[in-house]
A = this chain, B = another copy of it.
Amino acid sequence: VAKKSTAGVKEPLSRERIVDAAIALADAEGLEAVTIRRLALDQGVTPMALYWHFKDKDRLLDGIVERLVASIDLPAAERADGQPWHLRLRVLLGEMLVVLRAHPAVVPLVPTRFMLSEPGLDVTECALTLLHEGGFTPEQSAQLASQAMMSIIQLVTGEPGLLVGEEAVAREQRLRTKRAALQSLSPERYQRVLASAEGFVACGSETAYFDLGLDLFIAGVRGVAPEPA
């Protein structure tokens, strides 16, 4: 009857398409590029068109986070059943890590929005259950769950050598500048900083970096846990 999805016919907007475009744009040009007007331009539409799909920009950003968090593989974390709680917690955090690592540019949006969506609450419930097994009170669990999430975020956004958006295009140049700045420091006053300089500007092994980050957090929770595990 009517033409459907033929070439050149533009599909109507939808929340999904907008969120897709926003994530892709952030990946390519950084979070600052994600603008109502820019998004509209890319979709060949008026800025106000977006306001039919989202109440305001903030809800759109909420949507981005929900999309990310929803793709966390929660079952994988539950498959580690039978293992001690801290090991299962590590698996859960590892699953969060792989999801967020894929889109580092939007990760800064996560902390304030994580518990605003159903998928985020599911992940939180899971983490809290594991911490309960570790013997923590509900209050302590709440704090530790928050800090666990923040540790992951921090690992992703703080990865040395990670450059996002337009920074990425002039990548080599950026790194050289940073290295130069560090190397111009007084060798006697900043002995340790200079020795660690390379560690601040890039990371030798990505897996070593993320493993140490996870180890650090897990060792911490175990250290403060009442139940010897």
Residues of A at the B interface (CB closer than 8 Å) are 111, 115, 121, 124-125, 128-129, 132, 138-147, 150-151, 154-155, 158, 160, 185, 189-193, 195-200, 203-204, 209, 212-213, 215-224
Which residue of the partner chain B has the closest CB to A127? Answer: B192
Residues of B within 8 A of A192 (CB): 124-125, 128-129, 132, 138, 141
A218 CA / B144 CA spacing, docked (Å): 14
Residues of B within 8 A of A223 (CB): 215-216, 218-220, 222-223
- Does B212 contact A224, Cβ atoms closer than 8 Å? yes
A217 CA / B219 CA spacing, docked (Å): 9
Q: How many copies does the complex hold?
A: 2
Which residue of the partner chain B has the closest CB to A178? Answer: B115
Which residue of the partner chain B has the closest CB to A225? Answer: B219
Q: Within the complex, what minimum Cβ distance (angstroms) separates A227 from chain B?
A: 14
Q: Within the complex, what minimum Cβ distance (angstroms) separates A213 from chain B?
A: 7
Which applies to chain A's interface (DSSP): helix, strand, loop or mixed? helix
A13 CA / B204 CA spacing, docked (Å): 46
- Does B138 contact A199, Cβ atoms closer than 8 Å? yes
Q: Within the complex, what minimum Cβ distance (angstroms) separates A121 from chain B?
A: 6
- Does B204 contact A215, Cβ atoms closer than 8 Å? no
Quick one: which of B139, B154, B158, B193 contacts A204, CB cutoff 8 A?
B139
Which residue of the partner chain B has the closest CB to A129? Answer: B192
Q: Within the complex, what minimum Cβ distance (angstroms) separates A24 from chain B?
A: 24
Residues of B within 8 A of A146 (CB): 158, 160, 200
* 30 A-B pairs with C-beta separation under 8 A: A111-B158, A121-B193, A124-B193, A128-B195, A132-B192, A138-B198, A139-B198, A139-B203, A139-B204, A140-B212, A141-B192, A141-B199, A142-B160, A142-B198, A143-B203, A143-B209, A143-B212, A147-B151, A147-B154, A151-B151, A151-B154, A154-B154, A212-B224, A215-B224, A216-B220, A217-B220, A218-B223, A219-B219, A220-B220, A220-B223
